[in-house]
């Protein structure tokens, strides 16, 4: 997508396909507020006062298993560099559904660790909370790393950390492809991002 009008059109197409605003935000890797703005302006000619956000399209990586494997390996290497104790055994890699799961699976294989999957409920009518899927590894009392594609507000990662701690698991690092906000840590857990996007605004 080359401009904001293309992004508005894509958001509208996703809505017409039955996706909720939260799902559209995830699909476009934008904040929920940005998704709401895009949909609200789908029938308007005036697109001034757009929210300050960064649109991220990493489909050139996601559509290639080879590229995805290479990026996952690089992210795995970076996560180990971020750990306070690099020699510590990571027992579980927690992938944030949907887009974080393929990378988490590849990283878990590289580490010889188990795989757990977090499913957010923000896509449902309830709109909040989430759970660890029962079809994957348990995390109770285990050392974990969290893997996602893009961090926008950090709210989903906070949910994951809260659930892990409630199960006496030990989250040690958060690995993401792209950090849009510039987090050094979330809830005291270091954020390790391959790319960090910073907005440079005009300074008067």
Q: Which residue shows structure tokens 């709210």?
A: 155
pTM as predicted: 0.83
The correct answer on CATH 3.40.50.1010 for the domain covering 59-196 is no
Q: What's the Cα-to-Cα distance from 117 to each of 4, 20, 139, 146, 162, rounded to whole Å? A: 33, 21, 10, 10, 14
Span 61-93, pLDDT tens digits = 999 999 999 999 999 999 999 887 776 789 999
pLDDT per position as a tens digit, 95-139: 999 899 999 999 999 999 999 999 987 645 455 579 999 999 999
Residue 162: band (very low, low, confident or very high) from pLDDT cuts 50, 70, 90: very high
CA 75 to centroid of chain Cα atoms: 13
Question: Hey, what CATH class is 1-55 in?
Answer: mainly alpha
What's the chain's Rg over C-alpha atoms? 17
Mean local confidence (pLDDT), 12-27: 90
**Residue 106 has which token pair?**
């590849």
d(CA 88, CA 112): 13
Q: How many residues are recorded in the chain?
A: 204
* Cα 180 to Cα 42: distance, rounded to the nearest angstrom: 24
pLDDT class for 163, splitting at 50, 70, 90?
very high
In this structure, are residues 29 and 149 in contact, taking their beta carbons and an 8 Å threshold?
yes
Handedness of CA 94, 99, 105, 110 (dihedral sign): negative
Percent of the chain with pLDDT over 90: 59
- Where exactly are the structural domains of the chain? 1-55, 59-196
Q: Two tokens at 45?
A: 């000619």
């Amino acid at each position: 997508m080359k401009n904001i009008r293309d992004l508005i059109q894509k958001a509208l197409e996703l809505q017409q396909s039955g996706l909720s605003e939260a799902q559209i935000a995830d699909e476009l890797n934008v904040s929920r507020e940005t998704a709401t703005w895009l949909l609200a302006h789908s029938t308007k000619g005036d697109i001034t006062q757009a929210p300050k956000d960064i649109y991220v399209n990493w489909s050139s990586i996601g559509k290639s298993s080879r590229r995805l494997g290479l990026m996952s390996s690089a992210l795995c290497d970076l996560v180990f560099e971020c750990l306070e104790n690099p020699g510590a055994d990571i027992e579980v890699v927690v992938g944030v559904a949907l887009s974080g799961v393929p990378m988490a699976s590849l990283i878990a294989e590289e580490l010889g660790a188990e795989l757990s999957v977090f499913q957010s409920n923000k896509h449902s009518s309830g709109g909040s909370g989430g759970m660890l899927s029962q079809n994957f590894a348990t995390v109770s009392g285990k050392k974990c790393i969290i893997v996602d594609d893009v961090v926008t507000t950090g709210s989903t990662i906070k949910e994951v950390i809260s659930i892990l701690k409630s199960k006496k698991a030990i989250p040690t690092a958060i690995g993401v492809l792209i950090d849009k906000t510039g987090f050094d840590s979330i809830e005291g857990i270091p954020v390790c991002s391959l790319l960090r996007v910073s907005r440079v605004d005009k300074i008067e």
